[in-house]
Structure 1
Amino acid sequence: MSTDAATRQREALETSGWGEKFQLVQPRNLNFWVYLALTGVGLFQAWSFFGPSVGFYADAFAVGAVLCTACGAAWWLWLRHIDRWERQPAGLVTAALVWGAVASTFGFAMTVNTAMLSIYAKLFGQDWAANWAAGLTAPFTEESAKLCGFLLLMGLAPRLVRTANDGLVIGAFIGLGFATFENFLYAANSTANAFGTDPVGNAARISATRIGVSFVSHPFFSALVCCGVIYLIGTTAQPRRRAFGAGLVLLGMFFHFTWDDAAGLGGGNGAVLILVMAASAILGLSTLRYAFRQAAPCEHQFVRDILAPEVAAGVINDNELDSILDKAARKAYRKSSPHRKAKRAHKHLRRAILDLAHEIGASRGADTDDVARARAEVTRLRASAAGASS
Structure 2
Amino acid sequence: MRDTDTDSSTDSAHTDSIERRRRAVEVSGWGERFHFLQPHNASFWVYIVLTAIGVHQTWAYFAPEASFYAGGYAVAAILCLLCGVAWFLWLRHIDRWERQPGSLAVAAIVWGAIPGTFAFAMTANTAMLSIYPKLFGQEWAANWGAGATAPITEEAAKLCGFLLLMSLAPRLIRTANDGLIVGAFIGLGFGVFEDFLYAVNSAATNFGTDPAGNAAHMAITRIGASFVSHPLFSALVCSGAVYLIGTAAQPRRIGLGSMFVAAGVFLHFTWDDAVGLGAGNGFVMFGVMIASVILALTMLTIAFRRAAPREHRFVRDILAPEVDRQFLTDADIDEVLDPDVRKARRKSAPNRAARRADAHLRTAILDLAHDVARDDGADTHAVRHSRSEVRRLRTVADLARTP
- Coarse TM-score class (shorter-chain normalised): over 0.9
Q: Which residue of 2 aligns with 1:64?
A: 76
* 2:190 paired with 1:178: yes
2:105 is aligned with 1:93 = yes
Identify the match of residue 143 of structure 1 among 144, 155, 169. 155
Q: Name the counterpart of 1:158.
A: 170
Instruction: Give 1:195 deviation, angstroms.
Output: 3.0
Measure, in 1, the Cα distance between the counterparts of 2:166 and 2:182. Answer: 10
CA distance in 2, matches of 1:310, 1:334: 24
Q: Deviations over 1:88-145 (max 9, x none)?
A: 0000010000000000001111111011000001111111101000000001000000
> 1:320 deviation in Å?
1.1
| Equivalenced residues, count | 390
**Structure 1 Cα separation of the partners of residues 57 and 383 of structure 2:** 47
Q: Structure 1 stretches of 5 or more lacking a match?
A: none
| 1:323 to 2:335 alignment | yes
Structure 1 position 44, deviation (Å): 0.3
Structure 2 Cα separation of the partners of residues 5 and 337 of structure 1: 32
User: Which residue does the alignment assign to 2:227?
Assistant: 215
Q: For 1:240 and 1:373, locate their aligned partners in 2 and report how far apart those are by CA, in whole Å.
A: 38
Partners of 1:194 and 1:23 lie apart in 2 by: 48
Which of the numbers 13, 17, 21 marks the counterpart of 2:33?
Answer: 21
Q: Which amino acid aligns with 1:294?
A: R
* Equivalent-residue separation in structure 1 for 2:207 and 2:372 (angstroms): 58
Letter in 1 for 2:138: Q
Tell me, in whole angstroms, the C-alpha distance in 2 between the residues paired with 1:341 and 1:193.
53
Q: CA RMSD in A?
A: 0.9
Q: Which of residues 241, 258, 263 is equivalent to 1:229?
A: 241
Which residue of the partner structure matches residue 289 of structure 2?
A: 277
SS of equivalent residue, structure 2 residue 143: helix
Q: How does 1:289-308 map to 2 (within 5 A)?
A: 289-308=301-320
Quote the offset at 1:193 in angstroms.
4.2
Instruction: Spell out the pairing of 1:184-195 with structure 2 (5 A cutoff).
Output: 184-195=196-207
Alignment partner of 2:328: what SS?
coil
Is there any run of 5+ residues in structure 2 with no aligned partner, and where?
A: 1-10
Q: Partner of 1:313 in structure 2?
A: 325
Q: State the shift of 1:282 in Å.
A: 0.5
Shift of 1:364: 2.1
Compute the displacement of 1:338 (Å): 2.4
> Is the aligned partner of 1:111 residue 2:123?
yes
Partner of 2:22: 10
1:182-220: CA deviations, max 9, x gaps?
000001111234431211111000001000100110000
- 2:261 paired residue among 249, 267, 279: 249
Percent of matched pairs sharing the same residue: 63
Q: Is the 8 A contact 2:205 2:214 kept in 1?
A: no
Q: Secondary structure at the match of 1:235?
A: coil
Aligned: 1:38 with 2:50: yes
* Residue matched to 1:349: 361
Q: TM-score, normalised by structure 1?
A: 0.99
- Residue equivalent to 2:8: none
